[in-house]
């Protein structure tokens, strides 16, 4: 006879320990599933690249190795090293001057050195090509000063070269080094430098022996961002005739018609991105925790008149070359174009398209970033935070890589939809997703999601967790806490995230160029088209609009400094 205790015992399988997957699903189900879906979307481009690359097999490689890769890889390496050197030289040097020295104009240079950030690299290249043209304003002024009549009598350095690209891109991206290095110098005391000075060390020996090793982690972090942005560039390289890996992806796809070859080059670029990100993460570990206090008032050194003049020139030159000259040229060219022929055809529709596209991207990424940040804040599931980290992978991918990788899954879904509609109605509807711009919107949202997520995560960290605990003790659900407490307190970070994403989406060229629907022009693609046709004067207004929009995050940075 079976005992009562044996008869009431649950099945053995029910008593078994839950699997790791069940444990993950058992806690924070909604947050876990949301982060899992977004992380899956972020990995879609990588899966697409692998699928295309495998589909191409080895038949594409001989042609790529013979005709594309060696030259593109060498050019890309030259460009990365050159831009990093320019950004390090200008960024570290100017940060050291404004943080540790007193000289005329220093308080203005502290924020003015950020202005080149408002100038996209392709706009900078576009402007400098006209400024330095033999009949452009700079050679004309120089010939007038030197009394030279022949336009060919004053040869200037060739801008359409690797050196020209390094000059243009380096002058735009040096603030990525300037910002973290200056912040670190303001946090740390100059006591080591003072001690070295009392022991007889000169300024150069103090800079290279004491100050430079101290700020190196912050500089390395900024240089990682500089290299990622350089890899993402396609407009400046195209305008200046530089065949980088990014340009090779674009031309292999659009000119040679080989999506498999483009995917294989993009995978090679992705390997470089992973390496750069690893270096940046290593540098971040060596950064000190921010204390919120600065040592400026005790560590400044007043420069003598000659030293002050040299410091003034060293800080003024990158602002003049990186913002003053191209910005003034664009303003003058746009005004001249407007006075002569009015507004170019298509400019207003391109501006409207840019605003709509950037607005939709900002709305989607801010909503998704808010959900990610709230999921990570209250997570009891250990898998939520890593999944949220994977969801931000898109920002590290160059726009061309992201666009090529998304084409596989989006095209597959497009074909399924078309087949389903044809089977049900007999009508051929064509490419619904790519033709409507949904693929472009997905690409931009994945690329800029990490901006909104990190901005809102930083905002949530400023809200004390004791408020959440008090609300929970009164019976409030997590949804009500997020709606009634977090959202009102997050208004400033929400606005900052929306502005940052909006501006970046308006400036984005590579992904827009590759995934836009037919006859859909934005300000960036309109400018690209005018430059490709050689009608630079018609693109001045579009370029000026992009720069003016790009000033918004720079002003926000200046107000927060």
pTM of the model: 0.81
**Token digits for 183?**
């912040």
Residue 508 DSSP SS3: coil
The pLDDT score that the predictor gives to residue 247 is 87
For the chain, how are helix, strand and coil distributed in percent, rounded to 5?
Answer: 80, 0, 20
Distance of CA 185 to the CA centre of its chain: 24
Of 105, 104, 97, 102, the C-alpha closest to 301 is 102
The pLDDT score that the predictor gives to residue 80 is 93
CA distance 503 to 157: 33
Taken in order 443, 72, 168, 176, is the CA torsion positive or negative? positive
**Token digits for 512?**
């827009």
The pLDDT score that the predictor gives to residue 251 is 83
For the CA atoms of 417, 418, 420, 421, what is the dihedral angle to 10 degrees? 110
The pLDDT score that the predictor gives to residue 460 is 85
pLDDT mean values, one per 10 residues, the chain (561 residues): 44 52 61 86 86 72 78 91 95 91 90 90 89 85 82 79 93 92 77 70 72 81 88 86 87 78 83 81 65 52 87 95 92 87 85 92 92 83 81 81 84 83 79 80 90 85 83 82 85 86 88 86 88 76 87 74 58
Of 165, 321, 160, 163, the C-alpha closest to 233 is 165
- For the chain, give the number of residues: 561
What are residue 101's DSSP bridge partners?
301
The pLDDT score that the predictor gives to residue 433 is 78
**Token digits for 499?**
């502005």
The pLDDT score that the predictor gives to residue 14 is 45
**Token digits for 370?**
């808010």
CA distance 76 to 84: 12
**Residue holding tokens 């292999």?**
252
CA distance 172 to 83: 10
Contact (Cβ atoms closer than 8 angstroms) between residue 527 and residue 546: yes
CA distance 227 to 502: 23
The pLDDT score that the predictor gives to residue 118 is 86
234-269 burial, b at 16+ Cβ within 10 Å, e below that, comes to bbbbbbbebbbbbbbbbbbbeebebbbbbbbbbbbb
Non-local (6+) Cβ contacts of 174 within 8 A are 86, 87, 90, 91, 94, 116, 226, 318, 322
Taken in order 485, 488, 489, 495, is the CA torsion positive or negative? positive
What are residue 344's DSSP bridge partners?
none
**Residue holding tokens 């993009």?**
266
DSSP 17: P
For the CA atoms of 281, 283, 289, 291, what is the dihedral angle to 10 degrees? -120
**Token digits for 524?**
């960036």
């Amino acid at each position: 006879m079976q005992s009562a205790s044996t008869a009431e015992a649950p099945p053995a399988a029910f008593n078994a320990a839950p699997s790791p997957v069940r444990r993950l699903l058992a806690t924070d189900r909604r947050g876990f599933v949301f982060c899992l879906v977004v992380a899956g979307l972020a990995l879609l481009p990588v899966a697409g690249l692998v699928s295309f690359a495998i589909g191409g097999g080895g038949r594409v490689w001989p042609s790529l190795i013979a005709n594309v890769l060696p030259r593109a890889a060498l050019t890309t390496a030259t460009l990365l090293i050159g831009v990093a050197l320019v950004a390090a030289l200008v960024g570290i040097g100017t940060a050291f001057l404004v943080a540790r020295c007193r000289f005329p104009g220093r308080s203005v240079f502290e924020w003015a050195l950020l202005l080149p950030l408002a100038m996209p690299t392709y706009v900078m290249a576009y402007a400098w090509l006209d400024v330095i043209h033999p009949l452009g304003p700079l050679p004309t002024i120089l010939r007038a000063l030197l009394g030279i009549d022949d336009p060919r009598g004053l040869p200037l350095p060739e801008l359409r070269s690797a050196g020209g690209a390094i000059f243009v891109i380096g002058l735009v991206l040096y603030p990525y080094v300037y910002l973290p290095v200056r912040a670190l110098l303001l946090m740390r005391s100059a006591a080591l430098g003072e001690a070295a000075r009392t022991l007889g060390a000169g300024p150069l020996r103090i800079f290279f022996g004491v100050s430079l090793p101290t700020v190196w982690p912050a500089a390395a972090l900024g240089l990682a961002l500089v290299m990622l942005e350089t890899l993402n560039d396609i407009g400046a390289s195209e305008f200046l005739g530089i065949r980088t890996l990014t340009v090779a992806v674009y031309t292999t796809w659009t000119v040679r018609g080989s999506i498999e070859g483009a995917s294989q080059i993009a995978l090679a670029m992705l390997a470089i991105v992973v390496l750069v990100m690893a270096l940046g993460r290593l540098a971040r570990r060596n950064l000190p925790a921010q204390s919120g206090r600065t040592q400026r008032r005790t560590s400044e050194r007043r420069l003598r008149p000659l030293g002050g003049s040299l410091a003034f020139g060293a800080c003024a030159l990158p602002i003049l070359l990186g913002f003053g000259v191209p910005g003034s040229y664009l303003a003058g060219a746009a005004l001249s174009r407007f006075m002569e022929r009015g507004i170019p055809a298509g400019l207003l529709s391109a501006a409207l398209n840019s605003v709509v596209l950037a607005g939709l991207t900002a709305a989607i990424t801010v909503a998704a970033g808010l959900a990610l940040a709230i999921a990570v804040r209250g997570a009891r599931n250990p898998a939520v935070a890593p999944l949220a980290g994977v969801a931000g992978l898109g920002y590290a991918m160059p726009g061309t890589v992201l666009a090529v990788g998304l084409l596989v899954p989006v095209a597959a879904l497009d074909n399924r939809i078309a087949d389903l509609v044809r089977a049900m109605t007999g009508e051929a509807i064509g490419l619904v997703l790519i033709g409507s711009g949904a693929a472009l919107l997905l690409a931009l949202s994945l690329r800029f999601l990490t901006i909104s997520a990190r901005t809102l995560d930083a905002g949530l960290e400023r809200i004390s967790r004791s408020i959440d605990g008090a609300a929970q003790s009164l019976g409030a659900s997590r949804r009500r806490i997020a709606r009634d407490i977090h959202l009102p307190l997050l208004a400033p970070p929400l606005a900052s995230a929306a502005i940052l994403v909006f501006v970046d989406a308006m400036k984005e060229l590579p992904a827009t160029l590759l995934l836009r629907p037919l006859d859909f022009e934005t300000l960036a693609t309109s400018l690209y088209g005018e430059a490709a046709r050689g009608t630079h004067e018609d693109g001045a207004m579009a370029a000026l609009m992009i720069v003016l929009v790009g000033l918004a995050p720079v002003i926000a940075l200046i107000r927060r400094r």
